Amino acid sequence: MADLSQPNNPFYSGDEHLSRLLADEVEEPWYRSFFRNIKETFNPPKLPPLEVTSKPVAVKDIWGLYGRQKKSFMMSTGFQIGVVVVLFTVFSSKIVQQQVKQMTTLQTPESIRTGFTEGNGWGFGWCVVRKPQGVSEKLSPGSFGHGGAYGTQAWIDPKKGRAYILMTQRANFPNSDDSPVRKAFQEAAAAALGD
């Protein structure tokens, strides 16, 4: 059995353990700390300026090759072509086409404002263009797609047989679905395709 009288003993009695956990002083009441926190939110205490102690470190160029072998490029391209072939094979199936058509059929009534731009409705997980206008004016009615938080957009226009994909990572769009970048991209793509 352990000798509890030793000062470095890892086994403490319940009272000793509790005394180690409890603070020596009683904390201020919750309502005082609450009001103090509110006061500091609107009138924060003045702190000394931060000192920069680190130095910039050179990093590799983002588009560098970094010793890749030529066969890795061929393997990557081959993999991407394989994915495209699988997608075309899967989506050419009648069952998949029926499911996609069901997912992209309007489910919301016209009286409900949906999406982040005017003239849209919702299918099952897709925004569907009801009346093209604004950023969607170059799309046909029934076009469907979705936008991401950082501006990435993917829209499919089945009537024209086109897919518009805009990949961006911009955090300063107040509404990425209604951004001028998306409008300019779709107008440029439509003009290039003879629209």
Alpha carbon distance 156, 175 (integer Å):
20
Q: Using 50, 70 and 90 to split pLDDT, how confident is the model at 15?
A: confident
User: Would you put residue 189 in left (φ > 0), alpha (ψ -120 to 50) or beta?
Assistant: alpha
Q: Using 50, 70 and 90 to split pLDDT, how confident is the model at 12?
A: low
Beta bridge partners of 163: 156
- State residue 64's pLDDT score: 55
b/e 120-130 (16+ beta carbons within 10 angstroms → b): bbbbeebbbbb
- State residue 135's pLDDT score: 92
Q: Using 50, 70 and 90 to split pLDDT, how confident is the model at 20?
A: low
Dump pLDDT digits (tens) for 80-109: 777 777 777 777 788 888 888 888 899 999
Count of helices and strands (H, E) across the chain: 5, 5
Q: Mapping DSSP to helix (H, G, I), strand (E, B) and coil, where does residue 99 land?
A: helix
Running DSSP on this structure, what letter comes out for residue 168?
-
Dump pLDDT digits (tens) for 39-60: 888 888 888 888 888 888 877 6
Alpha carbon distance 109, 124 (integer Å):
13
Map out the domains of the chain as residue ranges. 102-192
- State residue 3's pLDDT score: 53
CB atoms within 10 A of CB 29: 8
CB atoms within 10 A of CB 135: 26
- Look up tokens 């076009």; give the residue: 143
* pLDDT at 7 > cutoff 70: no
b/e 152-162 (16+ beta carbons within 10 angstroms → b): bbebbbeeeeb
Dump pLDDT digits (tens) for 129-174: 999 999 999 999 999 988 887 788 889 898 998 888 888 877 777 8
Q: Where do the H-state alpha helices sit in the chain?
A: 14-21, 30-42, 70-91, 94-103, 180-192
